[in-house]
Chain A
Amino acid sequence: MKHNFDFIQNLLGRTVYIDDLPEPANLLHAAVFTSPSAHGSFAGLDLSAALALDPTVRVLTAADIPGQNQLGTAVLDEPMLAEGVWHFRGQVIALVLAGSRSLARRAAAAIKLVGAADRPAVTDPRVAFARGDLILKPRTQRWGDSAAAFALCHLVVSGRADSAGQEHVYLETQGAIALPDDSGGVRLMSGTQGPSGVQKIVARVLGLPMNLVEVETRRMGGAFGGKEDQASGWAALAALGAFATQRPVKIYLSRRDDMTSTGKRHPYSSDFRIGLDKDGKILAFEADYYQNSGAACDLSPAIIPRTLFHAAGAYHIPNVRVTGYLCRTNLVPFTAFRGFGGPQGFFVIEAALDKAAAALGLDPVELRRRNLLREGDVSHYGMPHEGVLATETFERCLARAGYPERRAAIQEYNRTNPASKRGLAVMPVCFGISFTKMMMNQGGALIHVYNDGSVGVSTGATEMGQGVSRKLALIVARALGVSQTAVRVESTRTTTVANTMPTAASTGADINGMAAQLAATEIRQRLLAFAAASLQLDPASLTLRDGQLFADPEPAAGPLLSFAALVAKAYEGRVDLSAHAFFATPGLHYDLATERGCPFAYHVYGCALLTVTVDTLRGRYQFDDAIMVHDTGVSIDPLVDLGQIEGAFAQGLGWAALEDLRFDDKGRLLADTLSTYKLPDGHFMPRLDVEMLQRPNPKAVANSKAVGEPPLMYGIAGWFAIADALRAARPGLELAYDLPMTCEKVLGLLTGDLVPAGPSGGEAGR
């Protein structure tokens, strides 16, 4: 019975991903021909060698697009197939179809550009900013009067913080299958977080109404934001192929194509200024975030505000001015990645506090403690914080970690070990839950109870491994009083629940779970009303639980009917056994003109303490312990939530200390395979101790809290723990706030080969 679950099928190797679907007869495989450099122009293509390879080879270019050659959503600046000019390396110029995948890839490799010329490329967001090349107007949030407040500060420090991008490395690369449909449209199976988004783009590219494009997503082998907007282009290419040839077309990217041509987490370069009183209370903070947006807009305008919203981290700051710039460069359009601009903002405020603690001569842990958010504090975007758990999670975390004894032990270790130093860092988190783009906070669900009593649930949520299906099944099972195994969560289809939002911003279970609960409750009420009428009982006395109907005043009397028997009777009695429900997150409002409002349904809190040992001769490090206390609300499925916390932390730690997404100054990605791009493995991970703090959250389904993104921030402590160890090794060492802190960088800092880069501003206080 349990075998219906994805989870079990995963273990058996029976779950089907895009490339596992049975291949339809007549299938064509797609490959892409992409641009060779970061910027350039071309007059045409020489296809002779490609077409000579095999009679099945077909090449499609921009001229073959029946609708609009446009993938952009917020800004229409991203052609699906480049026309005459390309803006980043790996931009798709032509779609190649052939009878087999290897043939398609060989044909793509045989295409030559005609009349191609490179153009100068910009890769640095500060250079783009200096040239005035911004994708959209900057956004600024202000609270209080930071300029005036700085004058009153005991200490003001300023500096620069840089964070590199991050490759998603979803284990299943991007893919889709498109089938021509006898209605004149297309049907797609797409590995996307947002089937409705794919539907819209495919309809636009093919010049069709949306009702002729059907998109289904069964599951993804990981996504992490990388398949939010960026799955659309690949699906639309497959759709174009199917439309043009009237044959099924499959696209499944090679790892190298995926790493080269798809967006990643945005690199940022930022300047900060922080002012404190003599007790270490932060009085003012200013920052300018130069987001490397890449060559096209993509989701960048939604990501910048999330950086700004999280500029103050988990701290209360009474005077704030923060500005975000979307800098256009000749790199791949950067996109959503778990945290969505939040981690970049957190790194900057933590860097500012790190610098301030050193200048004040104060324990960095104590400095953070003094500034934590308290109940009722108003954020710099005007939202009062409610249900604040910043101090509670912080203190619980320190207690669990045995602080300050742990600090003393580290000092003793460092005193007695000349070639090895330990470091420690603490990382409090406060993360807002809701899509930053307000209209996106909506979702629908459709539930069918079949006449044998089994249940099918459809929502807009897509399963990418985050366990949303398990949560949905539990929510619906509870509402109908049946077991979780009686509920099947269907694949996500545009024809079943329409106009859905991508499963993103950690809101998948919140929004779709609430819609599913509403729909299930509707059916439950119909069933109870029917039972009351036919059994001539008071409806208020009836309940459904454990797959049975009970008349509650006399529970000892036992069940009246099984759920299945009740459903069968209701079916006979012509009761509607299906329900659709819609949920829009209440209470959200935001004024873009004043940058004030209530953009989040609630916040998630938590704290992590991390320790590391650095081998000061070799530059190698090993994270020892991570202790975290994380605010989960009443967890719907604790094992799933624990997996999310641990997995997000691993990604955050990878971003902070290991994963080296580097481009050369010509815009070439230097690590474009998994042998050169280093990912966390089991050895990299520290011992992990997680406490889930389960305080009921009235703002979300079943008193739970969203969990996908916030724990990623804990990984940032990795950077600061290593920095702490480095300062023990080289007292007075000046560090550039430059993430990730790779072993290579650590060794350079220890040997003095690496001089801190960038203008690290000096003391300006009095």
Chain B
Amino acid sequence: MRISLTVNGQRYTVDVAEHKTLLRCLREDLGLTGTKEGCGMGECGACTIIFNGRVVNACMILAVEANGATIETIEGEATGPGLSEIQTALERNNSAQCGFCTPGMVMSIKELLRDKPKPTIDEMKEAIEGNFCRCTGYVQIIEAILDLTGRSAEKGELKHV
């Protein structure tokens, strides 16, 4: 089936099999391999993208369902030559180790900050609870979100009092 979709502001038209997932379509047909496959079953969050303004697991959506959709992926995150604001904060806090969860993590953080510019620490944890990271222990990721919300001073709350 032929579908048209907009990814990171660019319009694509592709022919896809009915059973193909959006994740495989992005990776194989559009060559956007920044979005990762960690399980293919909606369980790890490595494939998180923003689909019509909401975060979803791209492995749980069929490509045909994306006909007409507007999609954001990691490839569209940095618009200039350098890092985006979110990426800069993650860099400063060493929030990526192996990097495999990172593209999905960035997408979840992006949606969180769009919805709630001043999230609580609990809301931050909620926003990334669908994104497993096996490397970091999450602390350095939450610290980055605190930086992004202008609350670096509250990093102490992640430690003990």
Contact = CB atoms under 8 A, between A and B. Distances in A.
B140 A646 contact: yes
Interface string B130-152: 00111111111110000000000
A13 B103 contact: yes
A222 interface: yes
Interface string B74-111: 11011000010001001101101111111100100000
Interface SS of B by simple majority: loop
A688 B98 contact: no
A647 B77 contact: no
A222 B160 CA distance: 29
Interface stretch (A109-117, A475-483, A637-645): A637-645
B159 interface: yes
A219 to B, nearest CB: 7
A681 B138 contact: yes
Nearest to B103: A13
Contacts of A646: 136-137, 139-140
Contact of A224 (B46, B134, B157): B134
Nearest to B38: A171
B134 to A, nearest CB: 5
Interface stretch (A15-23, A453-461, A509-517): A15-23
Interface stretch (A2-10, A124-132, A484-492, A733-741): A2-10
A681 B37 contact: no
Contact of B99 (A221, A639, A651): A221
B6 interface: no
A683 B131 CA distance: 12
B44 A688 contact: no
Contact of B44 (A9, A219, A674): A674
A469 to B, nearest CB: 11
B15 interface: no
Interface string A608-627: 00000000000000001101
A220 B38 CA distance: 13
Interface stretch (B28-36, B62-70, B112-120): B28-36
A689 B134 contact: no
Interface residues of B, number: 53
A13 B40 CA distance: 18
Contacts of B157: 687
A590 interface: no
Interface string A317-353: 0000000000000000000000000000000000000
B97 A13 contact: no
Contact of B136 (A13, A169, A643, A683): A643
A578 B37 CA distance: 39
B18 interface: no
Contact of B102 (A13, A20, A169): A13
A593 interface: no
Contacts of A674: 39, 41, 43-44, 132
Interface residues of A, number: 58
A12 B77 contact: yes
B132 A679 contact: yes
B41 A11 contact: no
B46 to A, nearest CB: 6
Interface in A671-722: 673-675, 679-683, 685, 687-689
Contact of A12 (B83, B94, B159): B83
Contacts of A221: 36, 38, 98-100
A675 B132 contact: no
Contact of B137 (A7, A14, A680): A680
Contacts of B128: 681-682
B87 A681 contact: no
Given A12-B77, A679-B134, A683-B125, A688 B39 contact: no
B152 to A, nearest CB: 15
Contact of B138 (A102, A169, A466, A650): A650
Contact of B98 (A14, A464, A627): A464
B93 to A, nearest CB: 8
A649 interface: yes
A644 to B, nearest CB: 8
7 contacts: A14-B34, A171-B38, A219-B99, A222-B135, A642-B140, A650-B138, A683-B129
Closest 6 A/B residue pairs (Cβ): A465-B98, A13-B34, A10-B99, A221-B100, A13-B74, A650-B137
Interface of A: 6-17, 19-20, 102, 168-173, 219-222, 224, 254-256, 401, 464-467, 624-625, 627, 639-640, 642-643, 646-647, 649-651, 673-675, 679-683, 685, 687-689
Given A20-B36, A675-B41, A682-B128, 13 more contacts: A11-B106, A171-B36, A171-B44, A221-B98, A222-B98, A222-B134, A255-B41, A467-B97, A642-B140, A643-B94, A643-B136, A685-B137, A687-B160
